[in-house]
Amino acid sequence: MTLEEKAGQLNMVASFRAVTGPGEIQEVDESIRLGRVGSLLNIWGREEVVRVQRIALEESRLGIPLLLCHDIIHGHRTIFPTPLAEACSFNPALWEQTAHAAAQEARAEGVALTFAPMLDIARDARWGRMVEGPGEDTWLAAQIGAAKTRGFQGKDLNFTTSLAATAKHFGAYGAVTAGREYASADVSERTLLEVYLPPFAAAIAAGVAAIMPAFNDIAGLPMTANAHLLKDILRQRLGFKGVVISDYNAVAELLNHGVAQDLFEAAVLAFNSGVDIDMTSNAFINALPLAVDRGRVSLHEIDSSVRRVLHLKERLGLFDNPYPRDPSPSKIVKKDQDLHRSLARQAAQESIVLLTNKDQLLPLQETLTHLAMIGPFADDAAAMLGSWASAGHEEKTVSFFEGVRTALPNCHLELIAGVDAIKEDISEISHALEACREAQVILLCLGETAEMSGEAASRTDIGAPGAQRALAEAIFNLGKPVIVLLTSGRPLAAPWLFERADAVLATWQLGSEAGHALADILFGAVNPTGRLPISWPRAVGQAPIYYNQRATGRPTEIGVHYSSCYIDMLATPQFPFGHGLSYSLFSLLEFSCLTPLVKRGGCVEVGVRLRNNGSRSGEATLFFFIRDLVASVARPVLELKGVKKVILAQGQEEQVSFSLAVEELAFIGRELDMTLEAGRFEIFVGQSADPAGLLKQSFDLSL
């Protein structure tokens, strides 16, 4: 390989299907012929894939196949709930299944690598990309990272149902200042190691093929130029051996960061910091050959990077056959698409969180004869897809209205938006009220459009946009039962709504089967099981808000003046991490710790009796937390260490046991190494992180 051909393997160019960053789509054919392109992104579809691969194989000197990539974030043709929504399922098997289904559909159309899972811990709902990630908790995010990697990659990357996965965005992108997109993230190395990086470690342990550094800087060092994190931490400490792919144009944007004076310096800095592939900035292809000649970059390092890229292509089977393997992907996908749609319906059911349900209004009776569906999202299929919906199409998406109409074919449905999703126009509210006149129950469908979350979609106000509050209050004033469905990419701060609505469902952005899944929950075919992967803020002023905070010197104590509180609002969330109601009613009895003293290599064993006092069977979710009471570093007041889901029939009681290996009590010590310290611990079980609902035991660790 010539030096330029080697640089070509490190050059990724955006194709034509979608634009996911600044700048124009480049012409690629001639560059492929010249061996100046190793991979393309935003490409899928048999015809185009065959066309570009044929140029690479038959018209370039070396005939090296292209690595074709796309953001398959929550589905390809069949769209699953957004990652934040799907996190509510606390179901690793489901996460793996939906990733596998997405991989099958995307690989059938020639995609070989996805830029997913996104594993950015997010605690600030102003940041639009919270929707793409695993929520606020490190333990949960690590489970998701491992499950999604397994799901996308399968047992062998060479399978026609596998995609190479990319864990992104390496490091602390969710900590951007003030929730503002692309802003700096100033987190301590301890917080980085303790909160933001463990999900990546889990994905790496599961064999993730690629890592994408984040756009942001951390304490002044842009991740794309952060050798300490991309080499010392990622390669040495976490043992990553795969490919590091920059984010879109991020190498060139080192000039904007002010750490490189021109594209040549940016290329040298990024490459020497550990970036293997330059996405769309054309910096590597134009600079690396010269940089080697000038001794600024070592040929040995170039060869190592190129070897990693070629090895990935080989694992994907691209040298054997880079073309879509299925003779007619549409038929193959069609056969499986029915399976995928029922999986999408199940995923959507498990993603819905029942936030409030006054007087057990839900589930609704199917004997209803008159329903009003009001609001901008009552019949908006596009909004159900959320951001990064890839090749998903709204015309194949079931809206709420369609789902309810299918479930209750004989019920009279009134449908009117009443207000626009965003505009302040209240002129149609009177018509909406008219439509409710005969309704026995009103379904009020509020929230955000798909464009109001995702990349480059931070908001300073995380309430219901436009005139939605005016509509809601007019509807509430009718004095009829009102159920609110919240379509959104983030938790919406709206205490006024939770106070007045009779029931509220967080329906997020549920994907292709949104309407059917909603109807399944509304009318009781399915008992809701979704639990919040985030702390739901009362107001944007609380951001960032999360349950596993440190106590501080004056812990939060409601009513205590000199404590960590606000003078104008409670410091607690509207709904705690893990919150989610069921149509059953679970109670926790007799929590006991069977191991009052544990040692290295042992396990903490606890047990709790769980009872279903409700009128129907249901699934309870139990969260197990610990607290390290005294350590060399201040520890969080709660740390999630495990989740158990238990199905109980009406009136059934069950003894639930939980075991925690002592090594799981380790934390990032003063020297930033994993540290285990003797002392007293508390262990909790609850149905959320709400302190009022936790049962507590304690044990001692001796070393």
For residue 41, the minimal CB distance to ligand GLC (Å) is 6
Contact 646, 607 (CB under 8 A): no
Of the pair 80, 681, the CB lying nearest ligand GLC is at 80
Q: Determine how β-strand 586-593 pairs with β-strand 679-686.
A: unpaired
Inter-residue contact 418 to 103 (CB < 8 Å): no
Query: Which residue, 12 or 483, is less far from ligand GLC as judged by CB?
Result: 12
What is the C-alpha separation between 105 and 662, in angstroms, rounded? 42
- Cβ proximity to ligand GLC: between 214 and 492 the closer is 214
Smallest separation, CB 229 to ligand GLC (Å): 17
247 is catalytic: yes
Choice between 115 and 476, CB closer to ligand GLC: 115
- What is residue 297's DSSP assignment? S
What is the DSSP code (8-state) at residue 257? H
Do 166 and 210 form a contact (C-beta atoms < 8 A)?
yes
Q: Which of 652, 403, 347 is nearest to 529 (CA)?
A: 347
CB of 212 to ligand GLC, least distance (A): 6
Residues β-bridged to residue 212:
168
Token output for 512:
């292709």
- DSSP 3-state of 658: strand
- At closest approach, how far in Å is the CB of 418 from ligand GLC? 35
Q: Exposed, middle or buried by CB within 10 Å (0-12, 13-18, 19+), for 630?
A: exposed
- x/- map, 442-461, ligand GLC, by CB under 6 A: -------------x------
Q: How many helices (H) and strands (E) does the chain have?
A: 20, 26
- Structure-token pair, residue 557: 């104590």
CB of 277 to ligand GLC, least distance (A): 12
Q: Which is nearer to ligand GLC, 168 or 579 (CB)?
A: 168
Transcribe 106-155 into DSSP letters: HHTTT--EE---B------TTSGGGGGS--S-HHHHHHHHHHHHHHHH-S
Q: Which two tokens stand for residue 365?
A: 């009776």
How many Cα neighbours within 13 Å face the side chain of 405? Answer: 11
Report the alpha-carbon distance of residue 461 to residue 240 in Å, rounded. 39
DSSP characters over 150-199 = HHHH-S-TTSTT--B-EEEEETTGGG-GGG-TT--B---HHHIIIIISHH
Question: Measured from the CB of residue 253, what is the shortest distance to ligand GLC in angstroms?
Answer: 10
Query: Can the peptide bond before residue 117 be classed as cis, meaning omega within 30 degrees of 0?
Result: yes
> Which one of 44, 90, 95, 115 is in contact with ligand GLC (CB under 6 A)?
115
Given 247, 379, 380, 628, the catalytic residue: 247
Cα(481)–Cα(361) distance, integer angstroms: 8
Residues 212-251 that bind ligand GLC (CB under 6 A): 247-248
Q: Is 152 in the site for ligand GLC (CB under 6 A)?
A: no
18 vs 478 by CB, closer to ligand GLC: 18
Residue 71 CB, shortest distance to ligand GLC, in Å, is 5
The string over 633-647, giving b where at least 16 C-beta atoms fall within 10 Å of a residue's C-beta and e elsewhere, is: eebbbbbbbbbbebe
Residue 611 buriedness (CB in 10 A; 0-12 / 13-18 / 19+): middle
Residue 170 CB, nearest distance to ligand GLC (Å)? 11
Distance of alpha carbon 687 from alpha carbon 633, whole angstroms = 28
Query: Which amino acid type is present at position 377?
Result: F
Contact map string, positions 8 to 37, toward ligand GLC, x by CB under 6 A: ------------xx----------------
Residue ranges in 33-62 that form contacts with ligand GLC under rule CB under 6 A = 41
- Min dist. Cβ of residue 73 to ligand GLC (A): 8
Return the SS3 of 554: coil
* 681, β-bridge pairs: 628, 699
If one counts every other C-beta atom within 10 angstroms of the C-beta of residue 597, the result is: 9
Closer Cβ to ligand GLC, 455 or 502, answer by number: 455
Q: How far is the CB of 248 from ligand GLC (least distance, A)?
A: 3
- C-beta closer to ligand GLC: residue 21 or 75: 21
Binding residues with ligand GLC: total (CB under 6 A):
9
**Least CB distance to ligand GLC at residue 246 (A):** 9
CB of 116 to ligand GLC, least distance (A): 8
Cβ closer to ligand GLC: 224 or 612?
224
Nearest CA to 454 out of 498, 490, 405, 506 is that of 490
Query: CB-wise, 455 or 513, nearer to ligand GLC?
Result: 455
Token pair for 401:
């209205």
For 207, phi then psi, to 5°, come to 95, 20
Which C-beta is closer to ligand GLC: that of 52 or that of 378?
Answer: 52
R_g (Cα) of the chain, nearest Å: 26
Of 253 and 513, nearer to ligand GLC (C-beta) is 253
How far does Cα 427 stand from its chain's mean position?
37
Kindly state whether residue 168 participates in binding ligand GLC, applying the rule CB under 6 A: yes
Which single residue is written with the structure tokens 């029939």? Answer: 649
Two structure tokens written together for 515: 């309407």
Among 28, 55, 71, 532, binds ligand GLC (CB under 6 A): 71
Catalytic residues: 247
The footprint of ligand GLC (CB under 6 A) covers 20-21, 41, 71, 115, 168, 247-248, 455
